[in-house]
Amino acid sequence: MKKILTLGLLAALLLPTANADEGMWIPMLLGRNQAAMQKAGMHITAKDIYDINNACLKDAVILFNQGCTGEFVSDQGLFLTNHHCGYYYITSNSTVEHDYLTHGFWAKNRSEEIPCRGLTATRLVRMEEVTNQVLRGVSDNMPEEERERVVKENIVVVCTEAVAGTHYKAVVKPFYYGNQYFLYVNEVFTDVRLVGAPPSNIGKFGGDTDNWMWPRHTGDFSMFRVYAGPDGKPADYSKDNQPYRPLKHLDISLKGVDEGDFTFVFGYPGTTQRYVTHQQMELQAMQENPVRIALRDIRLKHYKAAMELTPSQRLKYASKVASIANGWKKWQGETQGIVRLKGIEQKKEQERTFQTWAADRPQYGGVLAELDRTYGRLAPVELEWTYFNEAVMASDFMQRANSLRKLADLTDPEEARTAADKLIAANEKYFSDFDQHTLVDRAIFVETFLYMHHQGYAPYIDPMVKGKQIAEQFLGSVYDQSMLTHRDKMDKLLKKYTPKQAAELEKDPALKLFRAAMENAYTDDKERTYDYNKQQIARLMRTYVRGMMQQYPDSNFFPDANLTLRVAYGHVKGFRPHDGVYYLPYTTLDGIMEKEDPNVYDYVVEPRLKELYRLKDYGRYANRNGELPVGFIATNHTTGGNSGSPVLNADGQLVGINFDRCWEGTMSDLLFDPDYCRNICLDIRYCLFIIDKFAGAHHLIDEMTIIQ
């Protein structure tokens, strides 16, 4: 009996869809999951979630810009997303005098709502499978480059026909590595305005220290409103635009959640790589991640030190640090999770099982061996480009050197004049606080280049030093002598610049160094190697995944995330991250007070919040024990892009806003473990409490449909 159980567990391990609560499911095909979801506790139907003929939950969910999710919570276009999703628009509209990042922002009426130029909100109108149309004229023996050309041409035809005579926009996305294609017809709104955001000591409470961690006490939300033209259709910003009236907005439940309750997340997950082979997992987790982490350590060290100096420096670097630190911490958890779960060994065992199955199937028999050879050629180039992106491009200094390179490469006088004028305009902003910034940026430039040099990925430095200096001194002299750090010299050249003066630009030591770095990393041979092998991996993975689906014909395979609307479902559930430790699945305001540290910026508690806590003035947002809930975790399978996604209960009512994953489970993009993978959610009651009791923005609460 013991042997049978062991074999059963092994079979479950090798099945790509065997893990409980794993999966990001296509809304249009959710009928296949309806029975399982209802057995798990869902009370509604698949058509309540996605229905082409009637208003449904999908009409309340939007793609926020090109990387987050939002959800309508009123019939006046008001929607919620994460604070970290709206972070750029909060900081870019902040000044030292009107510091919305630090102090929060709440529009008292529509006239105070702040237009966010460039921000879009996208609603899915409909989707349909278009595999046959996209693959028209494609054959299995066609070269991959030719296949890509035919597929792209077919996609243009499909998209053009789908939106002809409408204001909609269309996109076709591949699934299962190009074995299947779906058309998405979207309505894209371009007038989106900031309505409200809590102070950063609420919206980003815990900062980078708590990022990716549980227990969590972050009020990670912000509020925006979509505006439309008089006809209700998307329109660019105008004072005459009116709040958009969505086909559906979410009902909000104050009942909350308990451990074991069914929940589902409806949003736009960005990227997963569930079906990759062990070579890709090893390259990403064991080779690239350590490089990224080490080089971002350097940047974060210097930026964080600068942020401690002045309020203006904190504002200057806040968004940059948040962006850098997000991946930095995620990659650490991802690598540790794969090591803990022996993920590479799991993949190898899965591949051995596939190879046995494929032994008498010639179309699949050689695919894994060919993948192994292909990754052997690709990996060195991928790793070298990781160093370039994380070291060479780490400093503003080298990014500006790249701008000089682009200018020097222009031969058309008008194009060169336009590019030179843009650099002059950029100088105006860049040099406004240059004396402070140069200390930070110079240190980052020198340290990241030195790290790369010591690892053997900058062989061009030694010949440039010529034995006169050590590498560190040479790099410092490059920074100090470049026109990029001397505005008068740079502007003088740029104001009179024509392509004839490109040779003068080329003399700049920063441009010389950047060209050397780029010409070392991006040789024609390396680019050909990269392009060819990526094409081959695409072809081979398409075959491999098709083979796995035939190997397990009774499995319901979910496609990898690709920033299209998906449903993930699971249950509210705690977990055991370490021996002897159990994490409860919810947190309360009590935990914020326990973490308070007035000497650490990330743990400063707003005085108004402390006063409400002292009075226990939680209004109708307290739980049955009289506590104010802040966050909860569940087993829903999420990834980047799910930030801001609505977390819904068994009745399809809003109970939370997804904003993170537990650090111990960040390997879920590659490998899902139901014992560790948890999505972190803001309890909607804490969100409403902050809007209502903390900010006094009762008019926003009045717009919503709240169920007691």
Q: Write out the catalytic residue numbers.
A: 84, 220, 643
Q: Which helix (H) or strand (E) holds 457?
A: none
* CA-to-CA dists, residue 328 to 294, 343, 462, 642, 663, angstroms: 9, 20, 30, 19, 12
Query: Which burial class, exposed, middle or buried, applies to 218 when counting CB atoms under 10 A from its CB (0-12, 13-18, 19+)?
Result: buried
Residue 640: other Cβ atoms inside 10 A:
19
Q: Which two tokens stand for residue 95?
A: 């000044």
Is residue 632 within 8 Å of residue 681, measured between CB atoms?
yes
Q: Which helix (H) or strand (E) holds 119?
A: none
First to last CA, the chain: 51
Closest CA to 397 of 521, 514, 520, 518: 514
Closest CA to 134 of 177, 166, 174, 184: 174
Q: Which two tokens stand for residue 87?
A: 């972070």
CA distance 68 to 223: 13
CA distance 441 to 199: 28
Q: Which two tokens stand for residue 173?
A: 């996305």
Query: Across-strand partners of 586?
Result: 632
Query: Across-strand partners of 583?
Result: 575
Closest CA to 439 of 308, 315, 303: 303
Half-sphere exposure in the Cβ direction for 662 (13 Å, CA): 29
Q: Which two tokens stand for residue 381?
A: 């180039």
Q: Which helix (H) or strand (E) holds 114?
A: strand 114-115
Residue 11: other Cβ atoms inside 10 A:
12
Is residue 258 within 8 Å of residue 694, measured between CB atoms?
no
- Dihedral sign for Cα 641, 645, 649, 651, please: negative
Number of DSSP helices (H) and strands (E) in the chain, helices first: 28, 20
- Please identify which residue in the block is written with the tokens 């392509």: 499
- Please identify which residue in the block is written with the tokens 């326990």: 594
- Dihedral sign for Cα 464, 467, 473, 477, please: negative
Q: 3-state secondary structure string, 6-64?
A: HHHHHHHHHCCCCCCCCCCECHHHHHHCHHHHHHHCCCCCHHHHCCCCCCCHHHHEEEE
Query: Across-strand partners of 682?
Result: 631, 657
Going by the DSSP 8-state scheme, the letter that residue 289 receives in this structure is H
Q: Which two tokens stand for residue 285?
A: 């987790």
CA distance 276 to 375: 12
